[in-house]
Each structure stands twice: as C-alpha cells, then as structure tokens.
C-alpha cells in the first residue's frame, strides 16, 4: 500500500499532483509542516520535512525523487517514456527546476509573503527577479514549437518543472515575458489531476 505524508500547502503539492496523474491507489496522511519535526515524522524523514512516500516499506523523501520514482514505477508509457535519452531530459528539467528556479522563487515568496514586513528586502526581490530571467528564458526557448518539454506528450518533466513554477502563483508572478513558457504553464497547471490537489489537505 502506498502512503503519502504531506500537505497540499507545501512542496508536497507536487507529489500529490503526481499521485493523482499516476492514478495509483494511495492513502494520504495529511501532515502539515508544523508536524514535520514530530518524533513520529522524524522516524520516516530524519531531516524533518514533508513530503514523504512510503511504498510498502520503501521510504522516500525529497519531492523530486518521489515524483521520479512514482513515474518510473507506476506510469511507464505515459509520464515516464521508454528511452534512456528521454530519461536524461527528465532528469535535466527536474534538477534545473530545483537548482535554477526554486531558490529564487523561494526568495520571492519569503520577501513578498512569508517574512514579517520589517524583515522583507526590496533588494532581495530585485536580485531574485533578475536571476530568474535567464532560466525562464531557457525554458521558453526550449518550448518554442513544441507542446511539452519532451515533445508532444505531457511527462513527469513537465509536471516537475510546472510544479516548481507554481510557487509563482502565490505571488502573482508575471510570466508574460516568456510567452511559450506561459502558455505551456497554464496548460500544465490546468490539468484535472492538479486542480484536484488544490482542495486537498
Ligand atoms: N528539498 C525538499 C524540501 C522539503 C521542505 O523544505 N519541506 C518543507 C515544506 S515545503 C518542510 O517540511 N518544512 C518543515 C520544517 O522545516 O520544519 C523537497 O523538495 O522535498
């Protein structure tokens, strides 16, 4: 039995999206970030974070690792294409999202939303916004003339990258300077499986 620990109000949302896309039966144990350092949770993730997946005793933490695992194990031929070359592209875009986008988007979230007003820095917002221009441009260029990152089908690469970019929704980030990215992003986040996750705990 698959058991998932996390909350849709965190990075766990990207795994809930993957679980819903895959369509496998799973049990969701809603785990808010405030419970991530509890003794029970530390037993399955010693760093004290959500999300965590327990697949019949195989425990996996790290949201991207969970999604790559779910796709390879449960969505061969759909989210997970057959060729090793395509797997390389999937790893590329997933790690690109985590390393080139997520830190800057987190800075924007912190300084526009989460930090108390007196700790917010306009300079941090400016620097992060500037730093996002190059990676967003890279994605925009890659999407020109194709429906999805790997070609004509939606794969876990699209899900992982669009899920990272979804941080931008909380701060109404304007993606209009990168139109191909913007059109693809709207298409991805509008998928039924993702929309379902929004009402989850
Ligand atoms: N790189 C990890 C980051 C996980 C993470 O930072 N989770 C946050 C919620 S988005 C958390 O559990 N925070 C609880 C805490 O720091 O106590 C991943 O992608 O899974």
**In terms of C-beta distances under 8 Å and separation of at least 24 residues, what long-range contacts does 129-132 make, across chains too?**
129/104, 131/104, 132/101, 132/104, 132/105
| 39 and 88 part of one domain | no
pLDDT of residue 194: 98
Query: Considering only CA atoms, which of 187, 137, 160 is closest in space to residue 89?
Result: 160
pTM: 0.98
| 73 and 100 part of one domain | no
Q: How many domains does the chain have?
A: 2
Q: Which of 78, 107, 141 is the last residue of a domain?
A: 78
| 90 and 67 part of one domain | no
pLDDT tens for each residue of 16-61: 999 999 999 999 999 999 999 999 999 999 999 999 999 999 999 9
| 46 and 24 part of one domain | yes
| 89 and 188 part of one domain | yes
Q: Is the residue at 153 inside a domain?
A: yes
pLDDT of residue 144: 97
59: helix, coil or strand? Answer: strand
| 93 and 166 part of one domain | yes
pLDDT tens for each residue of 155-190: 999 999 999 999 999 999 999 999 999 999 999 999
Q: Is the residue at 200 inside a domain?
A: no
pLDDT of residue 188: 98
Q: Is the residue at 90 inside a domain?
A: yes
Asked if residue 14 has its Cβ within 6 Å of ligand 1, the reply is: no
| 114 and 168 part of one domain | yes
Computed over every residue of the chain, the mean pLDDT equals 98
Residue 94: CATH number of its domain: 1.20.1050.10
| 156 and 103 part of one domain | yes
Within 10 angstroms of residue 10's Cβ, the number of other Cβ atoms is: 18
Instruction: Looking at the CA of residue 14, tell me the nearest atom of ligand 1.
Output: 19
Mutate to test the pocket of ligand 1, among 4, 7, 11, 94 (most ligand atoms within 8 A of CB): 11
| 128 and 156 part of one domain | yes
Q: What burial letters (b/e) apply to 78-90, b meaning 16+ CB within 10 Å? A: ebbbeeeebbebb
Asked if residue 11 has its Cβ within 6 Å of ligand 1, the reply is: yes
Contact, 114 vs 53, CB < 8 A? no
Residue 16: CATH number of its domain: 3.40.30.10
- What is the domain extent for residue 45? 2-78
Q: Is the residue at 88 inside a domain?
A: yes
DSSP string, 102-133: HHHHHHHHIIIIIS-GGG--HHHHHHHHHHHH
Within 10 angstroms of residue 157's Cβ, the number of other Cβ atoms is: 27
β-strand partners of 53: 4, 60
| 28 and 106 part of one domain | no
Asked if residue 62 has its Cβ within 6 Å of ligand 1, the reply is: yes
| 166 and 188 part of one domain | yes
Q: What element of type H or E holds 6?
A: strand 2-6
Instruction: Looking at the CA of residue 6, tell me the nearest atom of ligand 1.
Output: 12
């Amino acid at each position: 039995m698959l058991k998932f620990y996390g909350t849709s109000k965190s990075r766990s949302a990207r795994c809930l999206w993957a679980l819903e896309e895959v369509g496998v039966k799973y049990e969701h144990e809603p785990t808010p970030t405030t419970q991530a350092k509890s003794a029970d949770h530390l037993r399955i993730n010693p760093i004290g974070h959500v999300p965590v997946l327990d697949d019949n005793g195989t425990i996996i933490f790290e949201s991207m690792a969970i999604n790559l695992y779910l796709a390879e194990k449960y969505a061969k031929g759909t989210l997970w294409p057959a060729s090793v070359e395509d797997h390389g592209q999937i790893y590329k875009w997933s790690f690109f999202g985590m390393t080139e986008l997520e830190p800057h988007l987190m800075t924007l979230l912190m300084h526009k939303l989460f930090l108390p007003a007196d700790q917010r820095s306009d300079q941090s917002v400016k620097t992060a916004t500037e730093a996002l221009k190059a990676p967003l441009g890279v994605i925009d260029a890659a999407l020109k003339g194709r429906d999805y990152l790997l070609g004509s089908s939606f794969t876990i690469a699209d899900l992982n990258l669009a899920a990272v970019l979804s941080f931008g929704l909380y701060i109404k980030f304007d993606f209009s300077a990168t139109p191909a990215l913007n059109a693809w992003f709207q298409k991805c986040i509008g998928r039924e499986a993702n929309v379902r996750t929004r009402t989850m705990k």
